[in-house]
Amino acid sequence: MAITAPRGTQDFLPEQTGDWQKLEEKIRSICRIYGFGEVRTPIFESTELFLRGIGETTDVVTKEMYTFEDRGGRSMTLRPENTASVVRAYLEHKLYGEQKVHKFYYMGPMFRHDRPQAGRYRQFNQFGVEEIGSQDPAVDAEIIAMAFQLFRELGLNDLVLHLNSVGCPKCRPVYRQKLIEFFDGKRDELCDDCKSRLDKNPLRVLDCKEDGERMLSEGVPLITDYLCEECAEHFEKVQSYLTGIGISFEKDPRLVRGLDYYTKTAFEIMYAPLGAQSTVCGGGRYDGLIEEIGGPSVPGIGFAVGMERLLLTLKEQGLLPPVEELRPAYIVALGDEARKEAFILQQALRAKSLYAEIDTNGRSMKGQMKAANKINADFTVIIGEDELAQGQAQIRNMETKEQETVALGDVVEYIESKKKG
Binding site for ligand ATP (CB under 6 A): 81, 112, 114, 119-121, 124, 126, 277, 279-282, 304, 306, 308-309
Whole-angstrom CA distances from 138 to 46, 131, 237, 240 are: 34, 12, 8, 10
Residue number with CB closer to ligand ATP (78 or 329): 78
Which C-beta is closer to ligand ATP: that of 114 or that of 260?
Answer: 114
Rg of the chain in Å (alpha carbons): 29
User: Is 390 annotated among the ligand-binding residues?
Assistant: no
Q: Is 130 annotated as a binding residue?
A: yes
400 marked ligand binding residue? no
Min dist CB 156 to ligand ATP, Å, is 14
Q: Which lies closer to ligand ATP via its Cβ, residue 110 or residue 333? A: 110
Compare residues 23 and 356 and give the one whose CB is closer to ligand ATP: 23
| Separate counts of helices (H) and strands (E) for the chain | 15, 16
If we measure between CA atoms, which residue out of 257, 245, 297 comes closest to residue 138? 245
Residue (of 339, 334, 385) closest to 364 by Cα position: 334
Write 390-393 long-range contacts (CB < 8 A, 24+).
393/345
Compute the residue count for the chain: 421
Q: At residue 148, what are phi and psi to the nearest 5 degrees? A: -70, -35
Q: Select 121 or 261, whichever has its Cβ closest to ligand ATP.
A: 121
What is the nearest approach in angstroms of ligand ATP to the Cβ of residue 283? 8
- φ and ψ at residue 372, rounded to 5 degrees: -60, -40
| Annotated binding residue 201 | no
Do 159 and 316 contact (CB within 8 A), yes or no?
Answer: no
Nearer to ligand ATP, 84 or 371 (CB): 84
Q: What is the DSSP letter of 283?
A: E
261 annotated among ligand-binding-site residues: yes
Instruction: Work out how close the CB of 398 gets to ligand ATP at its nearest, in angstroms, rounded to a whole number.
Output: 42
The annotation status of 82 as a binding-site residue, yes or no, is yes
Residue 323 Cβ vs ligand ATP, minimum distance, rounded to whole Å: 23
Closest approach, Cβ 168 to ligand ATP, in A, equals 20
Extended beta strands in 31-148, E state: 37-38, 44-46, 66-69, 75-78, 102-111, 123-132
Report whether 83 belongs to an annotated binding site. Answer: yes
| CA atoms within 13 A of residue 421's CA, in its CB half-sphere | 6
Residue number, nearest CB to ligand ATP: 306
Q: For the CB of residue 281, give the shortest distance to ligand ATP in the complex, in Å.
A: 6
Annotated binding site: 81-83, 112, 126, 130, 257, 261-262
Annotated binding site for L-histidine: 81-83, 112, 126, 130, 257, 261-262
